[in-house]
Chain A
Amino acid sequence: MEKEDMKIVIVGHVDHGKSTLIGRLFFDTDSLPKEKKREIESICKDKGKDVEFAFVMDHLEEERDQGITIDTAQTFFKTKKRNYVIIDAPGHKEFLKNMITGASQAEVAILIVDGHEGVQEQTRRHAYILSFLGIEQVIVVINKMDLVEYSEEIFENVKEKLLSFLKKINIKSSYVIPISSKQGDNVSKKSKSIDWYKGKTILESLDTFYKQEASNNKPLRFPVQDVYKIDDKRITVGKVESGMLEVGEEIVFLPTKKKTKIKSIEVFEKKKGKAESGESVGITTTESIFIERGEIVCKASESVKLSDEFKAEVFCMSKKPIKTNEEITLRCTTQEVKCSIKRVLRKINSSTLKIINEDVNELKETETGEVIIKTKKPVVIEKFKEIPELGRFVFVRNSNTVAGGIVREVI
């Protein structure tokens, strides 16, 4: 059996110890290249306890900045159960676009907080982004416990503050762990200095998480990506976003409402009777009908709502604000339509969660808003909670993504 991979992102305020934690995880799981390990060990020996694990990551960062080679082994670490692939997500506010790109690919997240400094601006903003992206498996670690003499009181204090914030954004963290990455407390080994904590270490917690199941049991949504003419066949290609495709199934293309039956599922040099969600396949149909990219294949037996107005939460990532009634492009799977924000119901600072009362007719960078969106043409869109793949979208302006959105309610 091959070990599975799980993608993990470590987020938090700058200098709260992300690098040191990553360095420690690599070191403790024996995932470092030989030379690097030897180097660190020799520093260890010379300096006693004064080992700076951030060395490892600082080193990587510097190298990254300069485009110098780093080791393959340094992008993941292994436990008995699986390999964890670390996704790059910088902590600086300026790098928010990189952070969100990184985090959007992660399956689990570790939110790190400095026990000494407590919850800070980027701690909250990053937590908000995790919630926005729908990442449910989150570990909170309270780091640098060595600097506060492993005080349970300080831990409890930071923990309560953070949990009350996380509650507001609907993150139910499975674990809150007091750690010191520098000393190795509760990362891979139980801490002797923190005898009052009886819970799991970081590695133990990570291994309890599960891989996301394919959305096979949900209603079928197969967005048309392209149509190819191969020999004398017309093959409609796309990725099954949810549900299952099956040969013989009666289907309907939306929004054109053309109906037909699946004649075959086409994969190069293979015969297939079914295709599950996540698969990139092609279909041929019994009737030859003309369709284009952006239509959504659904089951004819299921009723699917077409909408041109919905309520969403939009997170702005553009220096130039997005104004109400501004015409902007919306992309959701392969659907692309012009739309505009009709109304901003309320807008919020993504870090403090405070309601912003100025300039309520636009969303500025890092602001998040509950808005009503009106599209020029009807689209197949779903509540994120029901079919996430059809419940998230981006706004595109001048060929760049400028905002992400989550559908809260279809009107």
Chain B
Amino acid sequence: MNHLEKLENQSIYIIREAYKQFKDIALLWSIGKDSTTLLWLCRKAFYGKIPFPVIHIDTGFKFPEMYKFRDEWAKKLGLNLIVGKNQKALDKGITCCMDDQMTCCKYLKTEALKQIIEKHKFKALIVGIRRDEHGVRAKERYFSPRDEEFKWNYKDQPPELWDQFKSKGKEDDHLRIHPLLHWTELDIWRYIRKENIPTNKLYFAKNGKRYRSLGCTRATVAVNSKADTVDKVIKEIKTTKTAERSGRAQDKEKAYIMQKLRSLGYM
């Protein structure tokens, strides 16, 4: 087996373990490249037909291209798609990234997801995070418990070894399952190339800019790039040394500091 085949086989094993343990399970699909790769792997794991719902959390202000992409592929793959929206918050006038990302994420993402979990009584969610994506994710497990507040206590997690994963305890609200944890950004793109996985065109350069990760319209910043094909993207990532989420992060941190200063009357 080559590198990508090893990654794929390990992920399929984890997805099957998750489904064996939980029938009340769903896949979180952000329409981005990682969760679309994960969708692909789920399809493979279950021979074409994903036996659980796929959730998309709609913050109301995503790129229009993403909706089109979502509906087209949901139809093609015969997905049981659940779209989550915190309508109350949207009605109240909370809009995506209006003030700062924290408010947006809290009400439009976390709350919407909480509502869906409650309504459908999901006990586990399959999520496409990767260990290399974020500092704190280096400490993540494949099976990771969350409490009612969705909090994750990374300092006191049970050990996870030899493909033996945690089952849901009484104190856990639900489990997050991370079949892509061991993949890197480069692995994802190589796999996308190998499998011809459909990707949103926003990932490819147009007028000298492209997106390396997709969030909400106003929280995601395009990076300078000439990579307009999968091959070029792979070549670019191999040589680049800036963070995948850097477009997002700086703005996020700045917005966060400003919001705090404002709350204290400093601005």
Q: Which of B13, B185, B244 contacts A280 (CB 8 A)?
A: B13
- Residues of A near B12 (CB, < 8 A) are 280
Q: Is A278 an interface residue (CB 8 A)?
A: yes
Q: Is A288 an interface residue (CB 8 A)?
A: no
Instruction: Say how far B150's CB is from chain A's closest CB, in angstroms.
Output: 13
Q: A33-B241, A101-B141, A400-B166 are in contact. Are A69 and B161 (CB under 8 A)?
A: no
Interchain CB contact under 8 A, B47 and A394: no
Interchain CB contact under 8 A, A67 and B136: yes
Interchain CB contact under 8 A, A394 and B13: no
Instruction: Say how far B41's CB is from chain A's closest CB, in angstroms.
Output: 10
- Residues of B near A32 (CB, < 8 A) are 241
**Interface stretch among B28-36, B71-79, B127-135?**
B127-135
Interchain CB contact under 8 A, B159 and A34: no
Q: Which of B1, B47, B246 contacts A266 (CB 8 A)?
A: B47
Interchain CB contact under 8 A, A63 and B135: yes
- Residues of B near A396 (CB, < 8 A) are 164, 167
| Interface membership of chain A positions 43-69, coded 1 if the CB is closer than 8 angstroms to chain B and 0 otherwise | 000000000000000001001111111
Interchain CB contact under 8 A, B158 and A400: yes
Q: Is B198 an interface residue (CB 8 A)?
A: no
Q: A101-B159, A278-B9 are in contact. Are A226 and B16 (CB under 8 A)?
A: yes
- Residues of A near B136 (CB, < 8 A) are 63-68
Interchain CB contact under 8 A, B243 and A71: yes
Instruction: Say how far A213's CB is from chain B's closest CB, in angstroms.
Output: 11
| Interface membership of chain B positions 241-267, coded 1 if the CB is closer than 8 angstroms to chain A and 0 otherwise | 111111011001100000000000000
Q: Is B92 an interface residue (CB 8 A)?
A: no
- Residues of A near B134 (CB, < 8 A) are 67, 69-70
| Interface membership of chain A positions 258-299, coded 1 if the CB is closer than 8 angstroms to chain B and 0 otherwise | 000000001111000000101110100000000001000000
Of residues 190 to 216 in B, which have CB atoms within 8 Å of A's CB atoms?
190
Q: How far is the CA of A85 from the CA of B183 in the complex (A)?
A: 11
Q: How far is the CA of A70 from the CA of B133 in the complex (A)?
A: 8
Interchain CB contact under 8 A, B159 and A70: no
Interchain CB contact under 8 A, A394 and B166: no
Q: Is B235 an interface residue (CB 8 A)?
A: no
Instruction: Say how far A115's CB is from chain B's closest CB, in angstroms.
Output: 28
Instruction: Say how far B203's CB is from chain A's closest CB, in angstroms.
Output: 16
Q: Is A317 an interface residue (CB 8 A)?
A: yes
- Residues of A near B164 (CB, < 8 A) are 331, 393-394, 396, 401
Q: Is B119 an interface residue (CB 8 A)?
A: no
Interchain CB contact under 8 A, A226 and B19: yes
Q: Which of A64, A95, A230, A401 contacts B47 (CB 8 A)?
A: A230
Instruction: Say how far A336's CB is from chain B's closest CB, in angstroms.
Output: 10
Q: Is A203 an interface residue (CB 8 A)?
A: no
- Residues of B near A13 (CB, < 8 A) are none
| Interface membership of chain A positions 13-51, coded 1 if the CB is closer than 8 angstroms to chain B and 0 otherwise | 000000000000000000111100000000000000000
Q: Which of A69, A278, A280 contacts B135 (CB 8 A)?
A: A69
- Which of the listed residues A235, A266, A279, A392 has the most CB atoms from chain B within 10 Å of its own CB? A279
Q: Is A228 an interface residue (CB 8 A)?
A: yes
Instruction: Say how far A153's CB is from chain B's closest CB, in angstroms.
Output: 39
Closest A residue to B11 by CB, please name it: A280
Q: A72-B185, A226-B16 are in contact. Are A97 and B159 (CB under 8 A)?
A: yes
Interchain CB contact under 8 A, B253 and A68: yes
| Interface membership of chain B positions 110-146, coded 1 if the CB is closer than 8 angstroms to chain A and 0 otherwise | 0000000000000000000001111110110100000
- Residues of A near B158 (CB, < 8 A) are 97, 400-402
Instruction: Say how far B223's CB is from chain A's closest CB, in angstroms.
Output: 13
Closest B residue to A61 by CB, please name it: B135
Interchain CB contact under 8 A, B166 and A401: yes
Closest B residue to A59 by CB, please name it: B135
Interchain CB contact under 8 A, A97 and B138: no
Q: Is A357 an interface residue (CB 8 A)?
A: no
Q: Is A100 an interface residue (CB 8 A)?
A: yes
Instruction: Say how far A132's CB is from chain B's closest CB, in angstroms.
Output: 10
Interchain CB contact under 8 A, B9 and A280: yes
Q: How far is the CA of A105 from the CA of B185 in the complex (A)?
A: 19
Interchain CB contact under 8 A, A239 and B166: no
Q: How far is the CA of A63 from the CA of B182 in the complex (A)?
A: 20
Q: How far is the CA of A100 from the CA of B190 in the complex (A)?
A: 30
Interchain CB contact under 8 A, B135 and A60: yes
- Residues of B near A105 (CB, < 8 A) are 182
Interchain CB contact under 8 A, B161 and A404: yes
- Residues of A near B226 (CB, < 8 A) are none
Interchain CB contact under 8 A, A98 and B139: yes
Q: Is A398 an interface residue (CB 8 A)?
A: yes
Q: How far is the CA of A235 from the CA of B16 in the complex (A)?
A: 13
Instruction: Say how far B174's CB is from chain A's closest CB, in angstroms.
Output: 13
Q: Is B157 an interface residue (CB 8 A)?
A: yes
Q: Which of B162, B170, B246 contacts A104 (CB 8 A)?
A: B162
| Interface membership of chain B positions 1-30, coded 1 if the CB is closer than 8 angstroms to chain A and 0 otherwise | 101011001101100110110000000000
- Residues of A near B155 (CB, < 8 A) are 95
Q: Is B160 an interface residue (CB 8 A)?
A: yes
Q: How far is the CA of A71 from the CA of B17 in the complex (A)?
A: 31
Known pairs A34-B241, A60-B135. 5 more at Cβ < 8 A? A70-B134, A282-B47, A399-B169, A401-B159, A401-B166
Nearest 4 A/B pairs, CB to CB: A70-B135, A104-B161, A400-B158, A69-B249
What are some 29 contacts across the A-B interface (CB < 8 A)? A33-B241, A33-B243, A34-B241, A34-B242, A64-B136, A67-B134, A67-B136, A69-B245, A71-B242, A76-B132, A95-B155, A97-B158, A101-B161, A104-B161, A228-B46, A230-B48, A267-B44, A268-B48, A269-B48, A280-B16, A282-B47, A331-B164, A393-B162, A394-B161, A394-B164, A396-B167, A399-B166, A399-B167, A401-B164
Residues of A whose CB lies within 8 Å of any CB of B are 2, 4-5, 31-34, 60, 63-73, 75-76, 85, 88, 95, 97-98, 100-101, 104-105, 133, 214, 225-226, 228, 230, 235, 237, 239, 266-269, 276, 278-280, 282, 293, 317, 331, 333, 392-394, 396, 398-402, 404
